[in-house]
Amino acid sequence: MVAIRYPDGVVMAGDRRATSGYLIASRRIDKVYPADDTSGIAIAGAAGPAVELVRLFQTQLEHYEKIEGETLSLEGKANQLGQLVRGNLPAAMQGFVVVPLFAGFDAHHGGGRVFSFDVTGGKYEEFDFQTNGSGGIHARNWIKAQWREDLTEAETVDLALRALFAAADEDAATGGPDLIRRIFPTVAVIDASGFRSIDDDTIARRADALIGGREEGGDE
Amino acid sequence: MTMPFYVPPEQVMKDRADYARKGIARGRSLIGMTGSDGIVLVAENPSRTLYKISEIYDRIAFAGVGKYNEFEMLRIAGVRQADVKGYSFAREDVNARSLANAYAQTLGQVFTHELKPYEIEILVAQVGATPDDDEMFQILYDGVVNDKEGFTVLGGQADAVSELMEQRYQAGLDLAAAVKLGAGALAGSDGTPLTASQLEVAMLDRRRARRAFRRVKGDELDALLASS
């Protein structure tokens, strides 16, 4: 999963593969979800607890908003998520680790922000981008080499896709573009107008255009 | 030893009901009505921050008149019940009827067992796919539930406002028509319609995909009131 900042907001993207040991458990799982109208969460780790964590987090944010009549600050949401991750620590010690990426548009700061977490619930704000999951290190290196301060939204979406393809090229547990079944990553953009998922057709078009590039060993 | 006077239970209940009714009538009125765009809730409320109308869940809104702290407590309990139910089961399993029943239980209990009844009247509204599917439950201070169709008036001069609504309301009103009707009816038969600064307006928007509740305020409300 990747979250990349650009001047107007953040792009989040995730591959579609879930594994169970050496088996592919799912080719179509979604790992990027809206947390509320202005933020998103991308999950990595044990699928069951991770999906449950997302559901609880979404419910908590909405509950707070309705009770208090206004939404939590982005920092507040990130801290809340940290507490949920911390609550999973006993399970994490037994192997069911869940580490989310959290990103959103912060109206007070006037831009996108990205937060990563460790298993103890520690929250770390990232400057420009962050990745997680088994292929995260490969995706991160790809982004690190390509990221610029002035990326447009479309360029950032492309960068996210290419980073995921690069990760899939190196890591067995990251799903690459599936040209037979037409399965491509989940991508969401969060800017001043809020969280929106990029539709499958648009992503499929971009993926088709990018396939076979250097991130997939195109020059070899 | 002094002996307490015997008060017949009929008298106790009547006194409590009178007490609650007086408290409710002191406040200002609120109207809920179904229309083509959704369920529109219009209240006379000069405060910008203390709301009488609010969101409970995806398709469900809450409105209360009377003592603020009392209906606010019920609102929070309702949001909690709905969120827990939606989280435990599924979002579509949360409905206005079961919420209205829970409110009726609470208000009924308080009316008979507590020192004083709640001086409130509340409305639980749920928007459907068409106006025929809309549901509005009005719950009185003693726990009596009424299932309303078309429109309903709570609190303040409810009878007078109801009479005006009876004459002027028609099915299938759009948002602008509903807001203007509400602003006019709340002002009474000879008053000038209430202005945006005196009104609190919200709606359950039939066309919105998930969370249907939204507040109608600021420029949008001004424009709706000014439209012809």
Convert the pLDDT of each residue in A10-68 to its tens digit.
Answer: 999 999 999 999 999 999 999 999 999 999 999 999 999 999 999 999 999 999 999 99
Query: Which of these, A63, A190, A206, lies nearest to B86 by C-alpha position?
Result: A63
Cβ contact A66–B55 (<8 Å): yes
Side chain identity at A173, as an amino acid letter?
A: A
Phi–psi pair at B83, nearest 5 degrees: -65, -40
> Which residues touch B69 (CB under 8 Å, ≥6 apart)?
none
Q: So what's the pLDDT on residue A219?
A: 66
For the segment A121-125, the average pLDDT, to the nearest whole number, is 97
- The residue ranges of chain B whose pLDDT is under 70 are none
Partners of A189 in beta bridges: A11, A196
| B214-to-A163, B58, B220 alpha-carbon distances in Å | 39, 11, 12
**What residues of chain A, 56 to 85, have a C-beta less than 8 Å from chain B?**
56, 59, 62-63, 66-67, 69
Question: pLDDT digits over A124-151, tens only?
Answer: 999 999 999 999 999 999 999 999 999 9
Cα B131 from chain centre? 18
User: How would residue A220 be classed by pLDDT, with cut points 50, 70 and 90?
Assistant: low
- Chain A nearest CA to B79, separation (Å): 7
Q: Give ∠ CA A218-A163-A138 in degrees, rounded to 5.
A: 95
DSSP state of A98: B
Give Cα separations from A61 to A35, A79, A96, B142 (angstroms): 8, 12, 24, 34
Instruction: Please state which of the ranges A178-182, A216-220, B115-119, B169-173 shows the lowest mean pLDDT.
Output: A216-220
**CA-based nearest distance B181→chain A, Å:** 27
CB B52 within 8 A of CB B89: no
Integer angstrom CA distances of residue B171 from A184, B46, B161? 48, 28, 17
Q: What is the pLDDT of residue A75?
A: 97
Residue of B56, B80, B81, B83 to mutate, interface with A, max A Cβ within 10 Å: B83
DSSP A69: S
Secondary structure letter of residue A45 according to DSSP? B
Q: List C-alpha distances in Å: B125 to A33, B49, B107, B171, B176.
A: 29, 21, 18, 17, 19
A52 close to B (CB below 8 A) = no
Secondary structure E strands in A28-118: 32-36, 39-42, 101-106, 111-117
Q: With bands split at pLDDT 50, 70 and 90, how would you rate the model's confidence at A216?
A: confident
The answer to whether A148 touches A158, Cβ cutoff 8 Å, is no
What pLDDT digit, counting tens, does each position of A72-119 carry? 999 999 999 999 999 999 999 999 999 999 999 999 999 999 999 999
